[in-house]
Amino acid sequence: MSPNSERCRSDGKNIFRIKVKMKNEFVFLYEFSKSLLFGVWGDFKEGIKSSRMTLPLIWLLSVGLAFQFDMPFYSFFLIKEGDFFHFLAEKISYWGDFPQGTVPLSIGIYLLGLLFKKERIKEAAIGCFLSAFIAGCLVDLGRDVLGRPRPSADVKEAFKQLGYIPTPIVSFHRIHPGGSFVDGFYGIHWTAMFHGFPSGHAATSMATASSFLRSLPLLGYLLLFCAVFVCWSRMALGRHYFSDIIAGGLLGFFAGLMFSRFQNRNTSTALQKSKQEVKK
């Protein structure tokens, strides 16, 4: 047998092994994600029954309290354009978003788990992505339907984009200094300036951080520190009121914590099921 044919056979075997490993990894990713989602959903239903709506009540009370500080906090945190801290807030806000922050972070941590053969790290990365994705979807649905104008929303720009000036369905009978719209819920309007409540950045950044609190606590606390700055940046740029931040942040924090708790308690069972599927 010639050296070329032996080399081709060896290359063929290596390619086959790589394909098998990739297939097994995709099967693991799918099966573990499915087990995790169903497990967290089961925990959520049981938690609602046992707690008798404690978490939703905490959320409502927190948002209601934060609502009282919207106007003074808006004036306090707002930073004018051209200031260094405004530039800093823009950068933090950009990297604190789901596509630019959570997605590459989840992929990077998963690849580290793959490289060092640490299943726990891979599981944490999956939980991070799923919790932030779900929190983001819930927030997007809520703010699309409610339609609270951002503090920076402008009447002229709204008319230019929509062809009409929206009026509130539920008015809060207040407006911040320099504001164009009366604060309230305006319903569905297909423009980002009416996507104020809740904050998507706050939800996804908090979910990303809290999802690691049980599995990788040092990373979780570090990301929680970063998430607080993401929340600050949204108010500094005039994108959200304080109650928008609290609403999105708490929702994301609870979502990430549920994934983290379930993984910490049931990870061996979910992992065993996913490995059984890989072997099939």
> For 105-122, b where at least 16 C-beta lie within 10 A, e where not — what string?
bbeebbeebeeeeebebb
- Tell me the pLDDT tens digit for each residue of 231-250: 999 999 999 999 999 999 99
Structure confidence at residue 21 (pLDDT)? 74
How much is the average pLDDT of 199-206? Answer: 97
How far is Cα 182 from Cα 280, in angstroms, rounded to an integer?
Answer: 60
How much is the average pLDDT of 196-202? Answer: 96
Residues 6+ apart with CB under 8 A from 217: none
The band of 70, judged by pLDDT with boundaries at 50, 70 and 90, is very high
Structure confidence at residue 2 (pLDDT)? 56
- Spell out the domain ranges in the chain: 55-147+195-267
Which has more pLDDT, 180 or 223? 223
How much is the average pLDDT of 253-276? Answer: 72
| SS3 category, 53 | coil
Which has more pLDDT, 122 or 280? 122
Size of the chain in residues: 280
Query: Alpha carbon of 189 to those of 75, 83, 221, 243: distances in Å?
Result: 26, 32, 37, 20
Does residue 278 register a pLDDT over 50? no
| pTM beyond cutoff 0.85 | yes
Mean pLDDT is highest, among 53-67, 112-126, 129-143, for 129-143
| DSSP element (H, E) containing 198 | none
- Tell me the pLDDT tens digit for each residue of 135-187: 999 999 999 999 999 999 999 999 999 999 999 999 999 998 777 899 999 99
The band of 9, judged by pLDDT with boundaries at 50, 70 and 90, is low
Structure confidence at residue 272 (pLDDT)? 53
Does residue 3 register a pLDDT over 60? no
Does residue 275 register a pLDDT over 90? no
Structure confidence at residue 29 (pLDDT)? 84
Does residue 268 register a pLDDT over 60? no
Structure confidence at residue 11 (pLDDT)? 53
The band of 121, judged by pLDDT with boundaries at 50, 70 and 90, is very high
* Mean pLDDT for the chain overall: 87
How far is Cα 116 from Cα 205, in angstroms, rounded to an integer?
Answer: 26
| DSSP element (H, E) containing 78 | none
